Structure 1
Amino acid sequence: MSTPRGSSYKQLLTPALHRRFTGAAIVILILCYIEAVLIGGKSSFFWSWFPIGPTGIRTLLLFISALSVFVLRVAQLHIGARTTASPVEAFIKSLFRLNTPQTLAWYFFSAWWFSEIYVWSAPASANLGWISEGKAWERKRLNERPIYLRSVFFMLAVLQSGVHLYFDYDGITVPRTNSKPESSPEQSQKKKDPIAKVRASLPSLAQNIGLRSVCMSIFGPIIYALFIRRTAWSCSLYFATLLWELPASQLSYIPPYHISLIIRSLTSGLLLVTLWELANALFGAYVAQEPLKKEQPFTSHSKDPNGSLLDGLKGKKEVMRTFALWELVIICQRYDARRKAMFSDIDRPTGSMWSQVMTLCLGNVLSISNRIRAFQNPTTSAAPPQQPVTIETLPHLAAPLRQENIFTNPPPPSTRREKIESSVGTIAKSYGQSPQPAKPLKFLENQRVEGQKYIGVARQKLLTQGQRETLSSSGLLGHFNDYLMRFLRTPAGYPFRKPFRRRVCTVVLGTPHSELNSIVDSIKTLNILAVASLKEDSYGKVAKDLPLLIRAYVSTTSSIEGFVSSLPVHWTDVDFSEAERKVEEVDLIVSSLKAGLRDMIEAFGMYATELGLGEGEIRTARQVAEMDHGA
């Protein structure tokens, strides 16, 4: 039996993501319209808000500034939180990746574009033009007020880039699917609505936006005067001379820190950061929606739904695999007809639908044990074979060495010259080989011993016992360790710590990004399909693989619990307590595994012997699942 070739999962996912981008863009366009009204110059009440006119033009131009954030997020999109052992390690890894300069570049472009729109929209009374006219008898000169304002925007771009990278804005937090239905349809719809999610996060967003804007209005003038002013003035003067005839004017001693300019930098910075933060929040909320189209899974619109779903599960890109697994667990929970179709789909060239799903999901589960083994027993890479080194000989500077036997007595001198050389050589050897007096060496040794004795006496008389212990090598090392521990307990030392939770998550959840959602969705999928197979698997395919599932669950659960309980605390984790061995993400995986074990044992316990499970294995599985303890 041949199945029709369906659409690839990418062909189904890409249009869905585009629709979500469009939904977020519409909300951002409304925000840009509100900001266009706020930054508009003095005009009539009607034209200040009427969209067809200057306000509409400003709205479209401001939307380009917000759209650059969307482009950045699409280019660096990934699923799951970043996993590193310490904040310093995360900083070093991000420093040498393309993400850092790319993030800076897009935020710089957005800030520059916003600054040009803002300066263009400002009224003449704001005095933000390039040229300062001055009095009638004064020559034109470069205006420093817009230079300062643009510098503030660029400083905000640097600050926003740092926040973006530090808090990993590029990561999408996929909500976990609930096994139990919501208490009410209104509550379920509220959790799915992206606008409701953004509205719930508005208090924290407002706090962050206000804090960043106020800090920049306070520290911006100081940073500008110390580090940016001369360079910004020189660059602006160079471009201004291309358009106007200006004298080579010098900087004034006092920057243009008028109260009106400081207030304007605060309000305009507030609008720019609001645009950035809401663009990021809306992008994340719209993308992290369930993989449904018209309340149906994406693959339901394909000619071969199961084939398209398998294509997504085997995809090379992380985003595709995550959405496919998310859709798979939703199908298993809510769509009974699609779930039953998986059990009856057995005629695929690459294997039945169940066997392929089990292999892919079980691979995600067993990858935890593989990472734990790799961490506990790191394999040392074999050293490459040494290549023979060819040494080039240096040119001869003297005659070659004698080849005859040098241990035989030389022949007696025969000529007069040879007799004289022999006599001189004998005298020289007698002086060189005669024993030298040992008095100087003995004298130096005695002086060293006497010096050490006097130093010891002085140390005993002048220093106390505590001071002598402090000056010893062990005492100095102890003081160094004490100062190091104090530093690690300060906020400045926090980036250098390796907390227990981060180290555990790095191993159990994987790197560079957490695979928590994929692992939990894989476990839930196997749990649901295994239990549902009792009534829906008419071919008995699942029952044959049930012992493999139970053994894999038992070994993975034991491996995780043993690793968490035995992992030694890193010496930089100065604030560790035993209560921190309970890591929320790891506990979620363990609880999912134990819940799956309980469901499978309760469903198939009476058939354990026929399935190939011994009594000892069942007893071990019950202990791991804590079924006996619960009873």
Structure 2
Amino acid sequence: MAPAIVRKAPYKDFLQPALHRRFSSTATILLALSYLQAIFLSGWGSCEYPVPCKLRSSWLTLLDFWTWFPIGPAGIRTLFLFICGLSIIVLRISQYHIGVRASNSTFHAFTKYFFSIQTVETWIFYSFSSTLFAFIYIWAVPETANLGLIAYHSGDRARLNERALFFFCYMAVSAVVQSLFHFHYDEDKIIIDASRRENGDSKSTGDTSATLKNVVSEIPAILSQAVQRALTDILVCFLAYFLFLRSWTWGWALVFLRPFYNLPKTNMLPPGQPADVYLVWRCFSAGFLLYIMWKTANHAFSTFMVKEPLKNGKPLTSESKDPNGSLLSGLKSKKSQIRCFALWELAYIARNDPARRKAIYEDIDRKDGSTWSQIHLLCLDVVKNMEKRIDDYGKPVAVPPPPAAPEEIRNRSSAPLKEDAIFQSKPANKTMRGEVEKALSSVGRHPGHSPVSQLSPSAKKMLRGARDKVLSKEQQEALSSPQIKSQFQTWALKVVSSEPCGGVFRQDFRKRLTAVILGTPYSELSQYVNATEVLSLFLVNSLQEDKFGNVHRDVANVIRAFTTIIAKIEAFKANFPIHWTDIEQKKDTPEVDAVIDALKTGLAQVVAEFEPYSSDLRLSRADIRLAKEAAAKQPRALPEMQQTS
């Protein structure tokens, strides 16, 4: 009987359940927040004024059974509020990416990424959340708030309520503003913590309680930003509504509501102004609660998603029937998210799991080679990608020529067409005027050729004489190409130096260098740091744990590769030019420095352990000397990676 074939479960089969658990944790926080907001809104049902505690104190509100009992109006309101926050989580799941968005400047990011389907999706989800929240809020407030779409005046005749239109416009403005902030700050990014402690261990991010404390600690910042943006949206709404949207929204609202209500046939705007102190308070309170929901959803999702790839304190693939095979499938994945989490798990194994390290050393019977040999090649390819980008920088993109179709050569049956004037009865004499006319007429037939270059010496002399008679020397110098370029740069520098508009166009040294070395469209730092640590720690630990002695064959290759990459990155950074719009001219690049520090630390560890065996490893004295020089600089603490939009 043939032995049972063990199925190699792909890495995503273990990663997706972990991500689902993190989604559940985020949803639980949103559900609790929705319940608190539902209780807060329930206290307004019997209030005659917009201040919720005007007629009764907060402790009496809590005694009202139906304001907090989940099975009732509070529970229904909680469900709809939860949908408002859940829609943002769905948006984040569909668009999240590992690493920050790579761009030279804010304007470059706008032109490259703003006009995309992702931006439209962002606006749609925020608009849905804002609209649903607006109806929930109107349902919660008392009738005296006068936020219904239809108002009845004398004679019980229906009238369109402009206060409600202003309120809905405010909620729409909030959705647009939040969508712009979402794009500007690249809220879809997920930053994996690649920082290390002094002893080389990574900071633990797998503890759920610690992650929850991180979310709770951001409550003051969330409240502060919610207040600021709610107030800002009021100012934006006033300008947009009374300058552009009032007549448009009034007319379309009448079009949609006339089939259901007996509204006036005219579209004339009401004489009064809809906004008053009470309406402004209603808008602010609704916007404040909505922004709390949005900010909490985004922050909780980003925080829980970057927990370490662990389950019950062990790597995710520990439950697989073939742990090493599942991990290799993640390292070979074409999706950057899966590949980054697999590298993160492998780095955790290299640091903290001796049993799994030994299993990797001893796993030598695989179709594509031993587990270590595959890990060595995959991680080294990740690190060498930086070297390849440096080598390719500045080179023109090679466009493969289209396959040339075989052309059938035909014999000419007639003379070639003439390009002379067809109405000319006889050949014109080659006068100076005729040559000038011929040169100018050739521009349309031969684009790219300069008309002046086609003139004869006598025609060029006549053209220079006409130029000297019309323009003075000062005017000719002002119109020269270098002079125009210098004047343009002087004017552009004034614009770039202005605040805050100038910062949009500045191409900082940090952003440009990070995009070149860490890659585009997203610069992800952790994969390079983790790949470096995997190679160095597996080599160092192999002296005690690799009983077959297979790892030592790759020591020389890793040492030479690290030495070359460190030298290239440092030389490239030293010679990388500063853009003329970078008025600060700072060369601080914490992301690139973090990669260099990881390479230096790993190289120093490997050289220190294997230098006594250099002759057996076929490492020359020059290799050891160059490696020590490359690893001479002491590693620095990794700063937190910032947004580079």
Match of 1:198 in 2: 215
User: Within 1, Cα distance between the matches of 2:12 and 2:480?
Assistant: 68
State the SS of the aligned residue for 1:132: strand
Q: Give how far 1:572 is off.
A: 1.9
Match of 2:276 in 1: 258
Match of 1:164 in 2: 182
Q: Give how far 1:202 is off.
A: 3.0
Amino acid in the other structure paired with 1:617: D
> How many residues are treated as equivalent by the alignment?
573
CA RMSD of aligned residues (A): 3.4
Amino acid in the other structure paired with 2:529: V
Q: Give how far 1:525 is off.
A: 0.8
> Does 595-604 or 234-243 show the bigger shift?
234-243
> Does 234-243 or 473-482 show the bigger shift?
473-482
Match of 1:4 in 2: 6
Q: Give how far 1:2 is off.
A: 9.7
User: Within 2, Cα distance between the matches of 1:290 and 1:83?
Assistant: 24
Query: Aligned pair 1:226/2:234, yes or no?
Result: no
Match of 1:574 in 2: 583
Match of 1:619 in 2: 625
- Summarize the Cα distance change of 1:274–1:628 in structure 2 as closer, same or farther, 3 Å threshold: closer
Amino acid in the other structure paired with 1:482: T
> Does 248-257 or 358-367 show the bigger shift?
248-257
Runs of at least 5 residues in structure 2 that lack an aligned partner in the other structure: 47-60, 409-413, 419-424, 432-460, 636-645
Match of 1:23 in 2: 25
In structure 2, which of residues 333, 353, 357 is the aligned counterpart of residue 315 of structure 1?
A: 333
In structure 1, which of residues 58, 63, 78 is the aligned counterpart of residue 97 of structure 2?
A: 78
Match of 2:37 in 1: 35
Amino acid in the other structure paired with 2:251: S
Amino acid in the other structure paired with 1:8: P
Runs of at least 5 residues in structure 1 that lack an aligned partner in the other structure: 391-395, 402-427, 436-444, 460-464
Question: Are the aligned partners of 1:152 and 1:220 in contact in 2 as well (CA < 8 Å)?
Answer: yes
User: Within 2, Cα distance between the matches of 1:345 and 1:106?
Assistant: 48
Match of 1:489 in 2: 497
State the SS of the aligned residue for 2:260: coil
Match of 2:440 in 1: none
- Summarize the Cα distance change of 1:450–1:94 in structure 2 as closer, same or farther, 3 Å threshold: closer
Question: Are the aligned partners of 1:622 and 1:628 in contact in 2 as well (CA < 8 Å)?
Answer: no
- Summarize the Cα distance change of 1:233–1:335 in structure 2 as closer, same or farther, 3 Å threshold: same
Amino acid in the other structure paired with 1:544: R
User: Within 2, Cα distance between the matches of 1:595 and 1:88?
Assistant: 37
Match of 1:238 in 2: 255
User: Within 2, Cα distance between the matches of 1:223 and 1:320?
Assistant: 44
> Does 276-285 or 467-476 show the bigger shift?
467-476
Amino acid in the other structure paired with 1:551: R
Query: 1:61-460 counterparts in 2 under 5 A?
Result: 61-135=80-154, 137=155, 139-176=157-194, 178=196, 193-249=210-266, 250-381=268-399, 383-384=401-402
Q: Give how far 1:254 is off.
A: 3.5
Query: 1:451-490 counterparts in 2 under 5 A?
Result: 477-490=485-498
In structure 2, which of residues 497, 510, 514 is the aligned counterpart of residue 501 of structure 1?
A: 510
State the SS of the aligned residue for 1:39: helix
- Summarize the Cα distance change of 1:325–1:224 in structure 2 as closer, same or farther, 3 Å threshold: same
User: Within 1, Cα distance between the matches of 2:4 and 2:509?
Assistant: 52
Question: Are the aligned partners of 1:24 and 1:286 in contact in 2 as well (CA < 8 Å)?
Answer: yes
Question: Are the aligned partners of 2:206 and 2:309 in contact in 1 as well (CA < 8 Å)?
Answer: no
In structure 2, which of residues 42, 54, 74 is the aligned counterpart of residue 55 of structure 1?
A: 74
User: Within 2, Cα distance between the matches of 1:506 and 1:151?
Assistant: 39
> Does 604-613 or 3-12 show the bigger shift?
3-12
Match of 2:554 in 1: 545
State the SS of the aligned residue for 2:393: helix
User: Within 1, Cα distance between the matches of 2:571 and 2:208?
Assistant: 36
State the SS of the aligned residue for 1:551: helix
User: Within 1, Cα distance between the matches of 2:400 and 2:251?
Assistant: 56
Question: Are the aligned partners of 1:192 and 1:289 in contact in 2 as well (CA < 8 Å)?
Answer: no
User: Within 1, Cα distance between the matches of 2:110 and 2:466?
Assistant: 56
User: Within 2, Cα distance between the matches of 1:145 and 1:338?
Assistant: 65
State the SS of the aligned residue for 2:614: helix
Question: Are the aligned partners of 2:386 and 2:518 in contact in 1 as well (CA < 8 Å)?
Answer: yes
- Summarize the Cα distance change of 1:530–1:121 in structure 2 as closer, same or farther, 3 Å threshold: same
User: Within 2, Cα distance between the matches of 1:372 and 1:116?
Assistant: 54
TM-score for both structures, normalised by structure 2 = 0.82
Q: Give how far 1:376 is off.
A: 3.6
User: Within 2, Cα distance between the matches of 1:323 and 1:258?
Assistant: 53
Q: Give how far 1:573 is off.
A: 1.6
Question: Are the aligned partners of 1:191 and 1:197 in contact in 2 as well (CA < 8 Å)?
Answer: no
Match of 1:591 in 2: 597
- Summarize the Cα distance change of 1:232–1:381 in structure 2 as closer, same or farther, 3 Å threshold: same
Question: Are the aligned partners of 1:489 and 1:575 in contact in 2 as well (CA < 8 Å)?
Answer: no
- Summarize the Cα distance change of 1:251–1:377 in structure 2 as closer, same or farther, 3 Å threshold: same
Query: Aligned pair 1:609/2:618, yes or no?
Result: no
Q: Give how far 1:243 is off.
A: 1.9
Q: Give how far 1:265 is off.
A: 0.3
Q: Give how far 1:389 is off.
A: 10
Question: Are the aligned partners of 1:49 and 1:55 in contact in 2 as well (CA < 8 Å)?
Answer: yes
User: Within 1, Cα distance between the matches of 2:275 and 2:114?
Assistant: 35
- Summarize the Cα distance change of 1:382–1:308 in structure 2 as closer, same or farther, 3 Å threshold: closer
Question: Are the aligned partners of 1:133 and 1:140 in contact in 2 as well (CA < 8 Å)?
Answer: yes
- Summarize the Cα distance change of 1:483–1:608 in structure 2 as closer, same or farther, 3 Å threshold: same
- Summarize the Cα distance change of 1:7–1:144 in structure 2 as closer, same or farther, 3 Å threshold: same
Match of 1:423 in 2: none
Structure 1, residues 182-225: CA drift from partner, whole Å, max 9, x if none? Answer: 9999x988797222212333333333222111111223112111
Question: Are the aligned partners of 1:134 and 1:140 in contact in 2 as well (CA < 8 Å)?
Answer: yes
Q: Give how far 1:619 is off.
A: 1.0
State the SS of the aligned residue for 2:262: coil
State the SS of the aligned residue for 2:32: helix
Larger radius of gyration: 1
Amino acid in the other structure paired with 2:277: I
- Summarize the Cα distance change of 1:237–1:610 in structure 2 as closer, same or farther, 3 Å threshold: same
- Summarize the Cα distance change of 1:382–1:310 in structure 2 as closer, same or farther, 3 Å threshold: closer
- Summarize the Cα distance change of 1:385–1:310 in structure 2 as closer, same or farther, 3 Å threshold: closer
Q: Give how far 1:581 is off.
A: 2.5
User: Within 2, Cα distance between the matches of 1:621 and 1:321?
Assistant: 29
State the SS of the aligned residue for 1:611: coil
Amino acid in the other structure paired with 1:593: L
Amino acid in the other structure paired with 1:202: I
Query: Aligned pair 1:524/2:533, yes or no?
Result: yes
Q: Give how far 1:39 is off.
A: 2.0
- Summarize the Cα distance change of 1:126–1:353 in structure 2 as closer, same or farther, 3 Å threshold: same
User: Within 1, Cα distance between the matches of 2:561 and 2:465?
Assistant: 71
Q: Give how far 1:11 is off.
A: 1.0
Question: Are the aligned partners of 1:565 and 1:581 in contact in 2 as well (CA < 8 Å)?
Answer: no
Match of 2:522 in 1: 513
Structure 1, residues 273-331: CA drift from partner, whole Å, max 9, x if none? Answer: 11101010011111111111111111111111111111111112111111111111111
TM-score for both structures, normalised by structure 1 = 0.84
Q: Give how far 1:361 is off.
A: 0.6
Q: Give how far 1:229 is off.
A: 1.7
Amino acid in the other structure paired with 1:555: T
Amino acid in the other structure paired with 1:21: F
Question: Are the aligned partners of 1:594 and 1:625 in contact in 2 as well (CA < 8 Å)?
Answer: yes
